[in-house]
Amino acid sequence: MMDVRAQVIEEIREAFALEGVTYEEEMLGKNVMQLGVDSLTYAVLVARLQLKLDRDPFTENPNLGYPDLLDDFVNAYVN
């Protein structure tokens, strides 16, 4: 069974690929808005992760805010 972090990254990889963006590990340290995908991609990604992981950390914790770095996005699901 895949761990949560690996599942989130796999979903990111798939969502980015649909937009023609190839996920690379170094993207984790970059600002989410500078990765070549738009906010709709993130909305779809959150919906897919909610279905797969049965949770949405951004709804569960409104104080979480929008993540700056892609790694912050991943960690929202891991923590």
pLDDT tens digit sequence for 3-51: 999 999 999 999 999 999 999 999 999 999 899 999 899 899 999 999 9
Q: Within a 13 Å sphere around the CA of 41, how many CA atoms are in the beta-carbon half?
A: 19
Separation between Cα atoms, residue 52 and residue 8, nearest integer Å? 9
Contact in structure between 49 and 9 (CB atoms under 8 Å): no
- Predicted local distance difference test score (pLDDT) of residue 79: 83
pTM of the full structure: 0.89
- Predicted local distance difference test score (pLDDT) of residue 24: 95
- Predicted local distance difference test score (pLDDT) of residue 2: 65
